[in-house]
């Protein structure tokens, strides 16, 4: 839009969207399903004393009936077939499922809703490829075969949370040319890190690697936080700031893709992501918390990391087995989908679509149907973009090579790699 005035149609969209934001504000899904940090040490003390006891998590009751009614009303008033109408209907449905899940914390219903929101490990990847679980096992196998002695000394030097906070804060201040995102230490955090629009928290007791610093910068800050900040800038759809469950696969896929294309990821990172997918499959198949915890130990994680990994699988559900919080299945599925979307955009000469993905938290389908709304000013382009996205020539070069390299069949190459064959 060239001015500040909204058209009547845009005002109607903005009003419906404002109602959606208000209804969804209290549905802090990941925060509400997370375990308190106080559960970790008693479990580990018991474990080391030879007592293998599943943790019991007490979740407070929630009643989101008012929010669910409002979300249903918003979906009913939105216009199907219109880009904004479809977005509002799908978002309202997603938030309604989140409300349903949060009202049933500690029960099997959480696992049922989680499967609807995030899918399951045995679903095929985009393009009818192998399943997410098969892809996870592929990365686990490769990581297990590689010799850790290949790591350079710099890659194995531990960095304290305090030191990383200072380094990451400097990185962020340089990027935003000021203090937009604050890095904080949090002794109560079970995960090593967590990100919001203007704050990144690091667990005080955690140690990190140089790869962790790059991953946190590219993944958490320049995707999760940055898309939330750009969503706040939207003149009509302010809900693009929010982490609706329906955008999780694209968000995590985009964030993981950012790690890869900037050289910030490593095979151990891919292994950690893949182990979580395997663990979700184990839990759905009947494994309880103790068995999943043992699985992570056997995979080489220490006790603290194994507990943190296992609790991700059992967020919101009983720890007795057969149930899981399946959010971790979206990482590889989202990565494949986003990588495919970037390659498709290049082939279709629509690479600018990839930049628009950063204008807020949206799905791959959203960014395509929103294209006319960016053109007419209903939606604003992203205020901030990661540097790798702004360098169109470099991005196009990498994607073009990827498109070509995929035509080479490794299974047609003999075990003996002879340059004379090429």
Instruction: Say how many C-beta atoms besides its own lie within 10 A of residue 55's C-beta.
Output: 18
How long a stretch of residues is the chain?
422
In sequence order, what are the residues at sequence separation of 6 or more whose Cβ sits closer than 8 angstroms to the Cβ of residue 68? 96, 99, 100
- Which run of H or of E encompasses 100? helix 83-103
**Residue 4 covered by a domain:** no
CA-based R_g, the chain, Å: 22
Give the pLDDT score at 203.
Answer: 92
- The string of DSSP letters for 197-245 reads SSEEEEETT-EE-HHHHHHIIIIIIIIIIHHHHHHHT-SS-GGGGS--G
Range of the domain at 317: 120-421
**Mean pLDDT (whole number) for 372-389:** 95
**Mean pLDDT (whole number) for 292-300:** 97
Q: Are 84 and 237 in contact (CB under 8 A)?
A: yes
pLDDT exceeding 90 applies to what percent of the chain? Answer: 74
- The first and second tokens of residue 172, run together, are 């962020």
Q: Which of 311, 284, 310 is nearest to 295 (CA)?
A: 310
**Cα–Cα distance for residue pair 378/418, rounded to 1 Å:** 56
**pLDDT surpassing 90 at residue 72:** yes
**Residue 151 covered by a domain:** yes
- The first and second tokens of residue 228, run together, are 């939330």
**Residue 50 covered by a domain:** no
The alpha-helical segments, DSSP class H, found in 285-329 are 289-298, 303-313
**Residue 102 covered by a domain:** no
- The first and second tokens of residue 333, run together, are 């599925």
Give the pLDDT score at 320.
Answer: 97
**Mean pLDDT (whole number) for 322-350:** 92
Give the pLDDT score at 394.
Answer: 67
**pLDDT surpassing 60 at residue 273:** yes
Give the pLDDT score at 400.
Answer: 67
In sequence order, what are the residues at sequence separation of 6 or more whose Cβ sits closer than 8 angstroms to the Cβ of residue 412? none
Answering whether pTM is above 0.75, one says: yes
CA 141, 263, 216: angle at the middle one, nearest 5? 95
Q: At what angle do helices 289-298 and 303-313 cross, to 10 degrees?
A: 130
Give the pLDDT score at 265.
Answer: 83
* Measured CA distances, 117 to 24, 89, 205 (Å): 16, 15, 32
**Residue 226 covered by a domain:** yes
Q: How many domains is the chain partitioned into structurally?
A: 1
**Residue 213 covered by a domain:** yes
Beta-bridge partner residues of 159: 208
**Residue 208 covered by a domain:** yes
Q: Which three-class secondary structure state does DSSP give residue 184?
A: strand
- Strands 182-186 and 199-203 come out as parallel
**Residue 93 covered by a domain:** no
Beta-bridge partner residues of 184: 201
Give the least confident one: 107-121, 226-240, 282-296, 347-361.
Answer: 347-361
């Amino acid at each position: 839009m060239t001015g500040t005035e909204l058209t009547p149609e845009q005002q109607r969209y903005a009003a419906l969207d404002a109602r959606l934001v208000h209804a969804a504000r209290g549905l802090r899904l990941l925060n509400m399903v997370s375990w308190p940090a106080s559960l970790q040490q008693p479990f580990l003390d018991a474990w080391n004393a030879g007592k293998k006891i599943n943790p019991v998590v007490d979740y407070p009751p929630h009643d989101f009936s008012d929010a669910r009614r409002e979300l249903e009303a918003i979906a009913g008033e939105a216009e199907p077939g219109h880009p904004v109408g479809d977005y509002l209907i799908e978002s309202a449905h997603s938030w309604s499922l989140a409300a349903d899940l949060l009202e049933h914390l500690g029960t099997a219903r959480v696992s049922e809703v989680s499967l609807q929101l995030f899918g399951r490990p045995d679903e095929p990847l985009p393009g009818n490829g192998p399943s997410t679980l098969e892809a996870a096992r592929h990365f686990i196998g490769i990581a297990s075969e590689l010799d850790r002695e290949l790591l350079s000394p710099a890659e194995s030097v531990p960095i304290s949370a305090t030191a990383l906070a200072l380094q990451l804060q400097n990185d962020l201040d340089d990027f935003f040319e000021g203090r937009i995102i604050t890095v904080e230490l949090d002794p109560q955090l079970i995960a090593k890190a967590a990100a919001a629009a203007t704050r990144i928290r690091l667990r005080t007791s955690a140690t990190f690697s140089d790869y962790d610093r790059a991953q946190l910068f590219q993944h958490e800050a320049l995707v999760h936080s940055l898309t939330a900040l750009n969503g706040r800038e939207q003149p009509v759809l302010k809900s693009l700031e929010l982490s609706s469950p329906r955008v999780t696969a694209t968000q995590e896929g985009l964030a993981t893709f950012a790690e890869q294309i900037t050289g910030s990821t490593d095979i151990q990172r891919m292994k950690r992501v893949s182990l979580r997918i395997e663990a979700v499959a184990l839990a759905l198949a009947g494994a309880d918390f103790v068995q999943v915890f043992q699985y992570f130990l056997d995979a080489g994680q220490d006790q603290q990391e194994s507990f943190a990994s296992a609790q991700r699988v059992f967020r919101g559900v009983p720890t007795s087995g057969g149930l899981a919080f399946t959010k971790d299945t979206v990482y590889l599925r989202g990565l494949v989908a986003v990588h495919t979307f970037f390659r498709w955009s290049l082939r279709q000469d629509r690479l600018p679509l990839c930049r628009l993905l950063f204008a807020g938290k949206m799905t791959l389908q959203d960014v395509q149907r929103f294209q006319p709304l960016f053109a007419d000013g209903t939606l604003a382009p992203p205020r901030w973009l990661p540097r790798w996205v702004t360098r169109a020539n470099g991005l196009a070069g990498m994607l073009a090579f990827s498109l070509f390299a995929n035509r080479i069949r490794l299974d047609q190459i003999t075990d003996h790699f002879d340059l004379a064959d090429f």
